[in-house]
Amino acid sequence: MRNSFGLLLALAIFSLQAEAAIKPIYQDIKLPTQKVVEYQAIANIAAASSNAVLTDSAGPTSASALVLSSGFSQPDVPRNLSVIPTATTADVGTCTVTIAGTDILNDAISENFAFAANASTATTGSKAFKTITSISFAAACEDSPFGARWSVGLGEKVGVKRCMDKAGHILFSTLNGAKEATAPTMAADASVVSLNTADYNGTMNGSNDFELFFFQNFRCK
């Protein structure tokens, strides 16, 4: 009997201790009704360049479309692209250059870069490309004698890893560990991750490190 009483007493004490260790938290855990801070670090972002991907390359050399699937470099980090005619721009026709690749989540994306006849300035894209799989020139991109040449470069909009409802849903960014006094210029899209980008105030020079703190909306992949 004495042993049974001792066992019951021990169980009672253990139960009280276990109950004391449990602290109930009453919280709405439905993510669509909450905002959760996301963190993203990107190191050594290269400076923007008008020809980092493709340098002074020939476009169509006949009245046929041209698709390049090799012979170009990849972005250093997910970021937007630019396309520019670089020589004999009198041969540039009214057309669209299409770049295909993948976004920061490895899903396929593409973007069109439109040009007017005789264009000589860059068309800058909005989507952040992690990789490039092809660069396609419509047949109309060049007129006879097909002497125009083209470059593809890297822009200053760095891809954000999640979707945001609004461009203002950013807390702050850091440059080499110090909070940036001026926040990045943000672009947001509620469901297309490649359209969520950050243009940092600090200089992208291949050695600076950036961090971004923002609110995502849980609507991307």
Task: Give the integer Cα–Cα distance in Å for 58 and 142.
Answer: 10
Half-sphere exposure at residue 12, Cβ-oriented, CA atoms within 13 angstroms? 6
- Nearest partner of 148 among 52, 81, 61, judged by Cα: 61
DSSP string, the chain: -HHHHHHHHHHHHHHHHHHHT---------GGG---EEEEEEESPPPPEEEEEEEEEE--SSSS-EEE-SS-PPPSSSEEEEEEEEE-GGGBPSEEEEEEEE-TTS-EEEEEEEE-TT--S-EE--SPBSEEEEEEE-GGGB-TT---EEEEEEEEEEEPSS--SSTT-EEEEEETTEE-SSPPEEE--SS-GGG-EEE-SS--SSS-EEEEEEE--S---
Question: How far is 46 from 67, CA to CA, in rounded Å?
Answer: 27
Separation CA 87–CA 181 (nearest Å): 41
Residue type, 83: V
Q: What is the pLDDT of residue 220?
A: 86
- At residue 13, the pLDDT reads 55
Token couple for 56? 């002074």
| Contact by Cβ (8 Å): 132, 53 | yes
- The pairing of strands 66-68 and 185-187 is unpaired
Nearest to 147 by CA among 199, 78, 93: 93
Note the pLDDT of residue 2.
52
pLDDT of res. 29: 55
Q: Find all residues with CB under 8 Å of 22, minimum gap 6, and list them.
A: none
pTM of the model: 0.84
Beta bridge partners of 151: 84
Residue 205, amino acid: N
pLDDT in single tens digits along all 221 residues of the chain: 455 555 555 555 555 555 555 556 555 555 566 777 899 999 999 999 999 999 999 999 998 999 999 999 999 999 999 999 999 999 999 999 999 999 999 999 999 999 999 999 999 999 999 999 999 999 999 999 999 999 999 999 999 999 999 999 999 999 999 999 999 999 999 999 999 999 999 999 999 999 999 999 888 87
